[in-house]
Amino acid sequence: MTGSVPNDIAGRLQRGRDRMFTGRAAELAVFRAALSGDEGAPAVLFVHGPGGIGKSMLLRRFAAEARAMGRPVLDIDGRTVQPTPEAFEREAGAAFAEDGTVLIIDTFERCQGLEGWLREKFLPRLPHGGVAVIAGRQAPDAEWTSDPGWADLLYRMALRNLSPDEATALLHAWGVPRHSQAPLLAFTGGHPLALALAAAVAVREPARTAQWKPSMDVVATLLSRLVGEVPSPLHRRALEVCARVHMTTEPLLRVVLGDDATVMFAWLRELPFIESTQDGLFPHDVVRQALEEDLRWRDPDGYAELHGRLGRHLFEQIRTSPVTGTLSAVRSFLFLYRDDRYMSDFNSWREAGEVRLTACEADDRDRIRSLAGEVEGEESAALAGAWLERGPEAFRVCRTARENKAVGFSVWLQLTEAPQAFHDPVAEAAWNHARATQPLREGEHIAVARFSVTSPEYPKISPVENLHQWRTLAEAARTEGRVAWMYVVVRAGTFWTPYMASLGLHPIAERPRVGALTYTLFAIDWRVQPVWAWAEEKTRLMLSHVRDRSRTVQADGAEARRGTEFTVLSRPEFDAALRDALRGFFRPQEWSANPLTRSRLTAGTNRTLPQILTDAVEGLRTEAGGEKYYRAVSRTYLTKGMPTQQSVAERLGLPFSTYRRHLAGGIARVCDALWRQEIYGDPAPADRPHPAV
């Protein structure tokens, strides 16, 4: 059908659409060039993008501009035409009747099978000055770009979300007050359909705008328009995984979907609202949000189960990945907690690829001293240089991905004794606090995130600062069991306090001063709450919708801490408790009073104290000459009916003095073996619990 003079209703309809049209200046410029027919201008525009991105709105604007220039316009809707060459020819045959006709084909994904025929048979027959605009969810196939004949004739137009300024202009056109726009912009990310739906609700119910969240009606509309029909529950689960994680890879998908991961990854990759990068797949923001809101509302248990499974996997990735992959694992793990206010306020995942963390090289030394001096003063620069001379392996340098420019550095100190080579008030404050509160045990060290220096060209929250934070968690997880106290050093002030408190780190009383700057040290004892227990609690609090406000509110939060905070025992205390546990092996009423049940050895694991003792005693048999120790300990403590040590010695056929020597040696070996587990962790990682629901 050709254009005609609009009646009053049609005119009002067009004026309303014009009022709500915003942005797309680059796309309009390309279309106007095509209408001009200048040399080199395209003759076919292929517009593509996910549902709700504004393709139909843009096509209506194209048609209005073409008609205003007196060009005949023919509109074809892929939803109403039969997807055969014959049917399409009948609908679009008028395009050949007049020079300069503008053919507009919307919803082309409904007749995508005609793409090859359209390219080879139909479009080449358009008359002089003709322009075709094709719009659909799928991008044009590779045949267009591989054909040199189409190279100058086709323009591929991928539609994206509106820019922040364009999105703000659209909300203003809807009548949403400026002070109410922030939550709507945060949810929609500039997606035109989501903006329109959110604006309609905001205008209708202005009192709800300040705490605006999409209603389930809005979510349902978005899912039907953006995602459409999903082939099966398996496909739905694949989408939910993709929405939950930062980047979806086939191995990650396999954690949830098993052997179906390969097929599902290929399916996800072809969806128009899924982007592909070198790190994996991710959905457009508004699709991610809608899928998440829908799953939380529709199946909260399924949401919790999915989060728990992904959290366990990603946390284990932090612990076991090569050093080069740990920061990526931390980034992915923390992304699961993005709904936490402080996690989202103090972390930015979008610009993660702008900078990278590398080992310190000899050529970096002058730059490190220069950055330290520029940001923290010459006194701190001198200390950074002193630590650099003592151990350059503690330094990591942040470099820009493009220029390879050093724009920051961090230092992770591992101290087993007080700093002595030079005077560093910050490191000394950490050491003094640890010694005064809960001293180190053999094999342990304290960790100090001593420097986290970012070039002044970056704001406080930046990709560089994110790398500093992510490295801290990675280092703590990788040295789990050996790190006792951990201290994160920041300039004195209140900016970082809420975030640190949300992570369970609390400021120590001493405020060391270096040069003109005063520092705050935020501390946590990983022996009292290991990193995996910390992650477990973060999961529990998030899933119970408890915002982690410095860990002091809500009874269930206190109960969670009681389940994951450990007693820190000295070696003499540990050995004494272990001897008591052996003596009380067959008296279960005494187990709960034994401090070992609140130590790292047992608390929060899948093994009971008697199981751990049994395994340790059995382990004596694997040692050279260990059979004699095994028999003495097992017959004395793990066998019922042996009332006295004299009777055990007689049963074993040993002189009492020999038996006593074997028993003492066996107990000492059991104590040593279990102390190593207390300090360095469980030798059987498969038994260790991970962050769980």
User: What is the amino acid identity at position 568?
Assistant: V
The beta-strand segments (E) located in 80-174 are 102-106, 131-136, 154-158
The residue assigned the tokens 């705008």 is 209
- Rounded distance, CA 232 to CA 37, Å? 47
Non-local (6+) Cβ contacts of 626 within 8 A are 620, 669
- Classify the C-alpha dihedral 653-656-662-663 as positive or negative: positive
Residue 243 contacts residue 291 (beta carbons within 8 Å): yes
Residue 357 contacts residue 398 (beta carbons within 8 Å): yes
The residue assigned the tokens 């004699």 is 628
- Phi, psi (deg, nearest 5) at residue 617: -65, -40
CATH superfamily of the domain spanning 8-158 = P-loop containing nucleotide triphosphate hydrolases (3.40.50.300)
Nearest of 640, 633, 439, 654 to residue 527 by alpha carbon: 439
Q: In the structure encoding, which two tokens stand for residue 238, read together?
A: 């694949």
- Rounded distance, CA 352 to CA 401, Å? 10
Q: How far is CA 596 from the centre of its chain?
A: 35
In this prediction, the residues of the chain whose per-residue pLDDT falls under 70 are 1-7, 10-11, 13-14, 16-18, 20, 204-212, 351-352, 480-481, 544-566, 603-605, 642-643, 679-693
The residue assigned the tokens 């919803």 is 107
User: What is the amino acid identity at position 557?
Assistant: G
Residue 187 contacts residue 171 (beta carbons within 8 Å): no
Q: Is 204 helix (H, G, I), strand (E, B) or coil?
A: helix
Q: At what angle do helices 300-320 and 233-244 cross, to 10 degrees?
A: 50
Fold of the domain spanning 353-528:
Aminopeptidase (3.40.630)
Residue 638 contacts residue 607 (beta carbons within 8 Å): no
- Classify the C-alpha dihedral 644-569-567-537 as positive or negative: negative
- Phi, psi (deg, nearest 5) at residue 47: -90, 130
Per-residue pLDDT reduced to its tens digit, 539-572: 777 776 533 333 333 333 333 333 456 677 777 7
Q: How far is CA 117 from the centre of its chain?
A: 44
Q: In the structure encoding, which two tokens stand for residue 519, read together?
A: 């520092």
pLDDT of 119 reads: 92
- Rounded distance, CA 187 to CA 310, Å? 24
User: What is the amino acid identity at position 61?
Assistant: R
Q: At what angle do helices 8-20 and 164-174 cross, to 10 degrees?
A: 140
The residue assigned the tokens 């962790």 is 681
Fold of the domain spanning 224-336:
Arc Repressor Mutant, subunit A (1.10.10)
Nearest of 519, 520, 517, 498 to residue 507 by alpha carbon: 520
Strand 395-400, strand 280-283: pairing: unpaired
Against a cut of 0.75, is the pTM above it? no
Where helices occur in 463-608 by DSSP H, the ranges are: 463-478, 497-502, 531-543, 555-564, 571-583
pLDDT of 366 reads: 94
- Rounded distance, CA 258 to CA 260, Å? 5
Beta-bridge partners for 132: 44, 103
316-to-20, 323, 450, 532 alpha-carbon distances in Å: 49, 13, 26, 9
- Phi, psi (deg, nearest 5) at residue 332: -65, -40
pLDDT of 351 reads: 67
Residue 580: Cβ-neighbour burial (10 angstroms; 0-12, 13-18, 19+): middle
Q: In the structure encoding, which two tokens stand for residue 513, read together?
A: 């001063």
